[in-house]
Amino acid sequence: MADHSDIPRSRAKLATTVRRSRRGSGSITLADVAKVAGVSAITASRALNTPDKVSADALKRVQDAISRTGYVPNMLAGGLASSRSKLVAALVPTIAGPVFLETVQALTEALAEAGYQLMLGQSGYSGAREDALLDAIIGRRPDGIVLTGIMHSAEGRRRLLAAGIPVVETWDLTPTPIDMLVGFSHERVGIAVAEYLYSAGYRKLAIITADDHRAGLRRNGFEAAAARLGVSLVGACIVPAPTTLGSGRAGLTDLLAQAPDVDAVFCSSDILALGVLTEAQARNLAVPSRFAVFGFGDLGFAGDTFPALTTVRIDGNAIGYQAARFIVERAEGRDINERVIDLGFSIVKRDSA
């Protein structure tokens, strides 16, 4: 029979020659492709996954057959057979806050390039839903999990370890990573900001900060450094995570009530800082002459606020790419020597401080 005569153009057509059970999705399978190409299923499989282990002739015939049939590999079946799902899960508190967006975006892209797909899970800022979510994720047998700005429960760590799935923690630098880690020291950020403000001549420092764990670390560093420099904080305001422009405005209002003479405000996010800038404008208080404003994150808008926001730059993009690299390396079976990467941060001096 000539090759071109038995291309399965549709299931109905094929059903006339090949008996089909009532089960199954009814779509084209690798076996169909193999039949069209005139090779065995396993050769077709190799043509897709390890093309260099197949003769040039066989390769071409399989590729032909694929494009003629419109075959799309079933990765559920492939994952089941090979124990490599080519899925990676990312856990974030919420994607509503713009902080992790850059990281998630970079992660998605870098993984897609390597043929992996991202599964998104939002745990909320409460750890409660995390465990249920973890089960759903582990059930997919992902080749890796990226934890982004998550405080994970001990139970969660245990399950992750037990499942034997590579884990990358990001956006933090814990002393005891579960597996791999790419982040920076929040405490050192706080220290650097305090030192910057001090050396710029500010002495009446205050802080508006979210109530999440990492913001707390930055605050600790900030306060410790301030104390070491001989200045004490004149005010502090804790707002709930995720931060908003509104809570920044409210925070400044609160702060000015506490300490009308404040001359520099460190905000735990750029959004918060933008809120402070907004409230200052509404009150006709000039920044930075009346007081300085310092942000965190260097989000896209930071350079375009009025005045332009001085802030801490975190390379969320690099974090995402590095996390993807970690996962892919591990999934391909290569060993990783340096499992902890400190990407650091930098201070971007603009006009607000």
The site map against DNA for 87-126 (x = CB under 7 A) is ----------------------------------------
Min dist CB 98 to its own copies, Å, is 6
Min dist CB 343 to DNA, Å, is 33
For CA atoms 99, 104, 107, 109, the dihedral sign is negative
Of the pair 65, 197, the CB lying nearest its own copies is at 65
313 residue type, one letter? R
The site map against its own copies for 233-272 (x = CB under 8 A) is -----------xxx--x---------------------x-
Residues with Cβ < 8 Å from 203, sequence gap 6 or more? 231, 263
Distance CA 80, CA 75 (A): 8
Burial environment of residue 306 by CB neighbours within 10 A (0 to 12, 13 to 18, 19 or more)? exposed
Which of its own copies, DNA, none sits in contact with 187, Cβ below 5 to 8 A by type? none
Which of its own copies, DNA, none sits in contact with 162, Cβ below 5 to 8 A by type? its own copies
For CA atoms 286, 287, 291, 297, the dihedral sign is positive
Which of its own copies, DNA, none sits in contact with 301, Cβ below 5 to 8 A by type? its own copies
Helices and strands in the chain, H and E counts: 13, 12
Min dist CB 81 to DNA, Å, is 3
Min dist CB 88 to DNA, Å, is 18
Among 15, 18, 80, 161, binds DNA (CB under 7 A): 80
Residue 264 bridge partners (DSSP):
205, 292
Dihedral class, residue 149 (left if φ above 0, else alpha if ψ from -120 to 50, else beta):
left
Which of its own copies, DNA, none sits in contact with 272, Cβ below 5 to 8 A by type? none
Of the pair 40, 258, the CB lying nearest DNA is at 40
Count CB atoms within 10 A of the CB of residue 180.
23
Min dist CB 237 to DNA, Å, is 50
The site map against DNA for 29-68 (x = CB under 7 A) is xxx-------xxxxx-xx-xx---xxx-xx----------
Q: Residue holding tokens 């305001």? A: 237
Instruction: Tell me the H-state helices in 229-341.
Output: 245-258, 270-282, 316-331
Work out whether 304 is an interface residue with its own copies (CB under 8 A).
yes
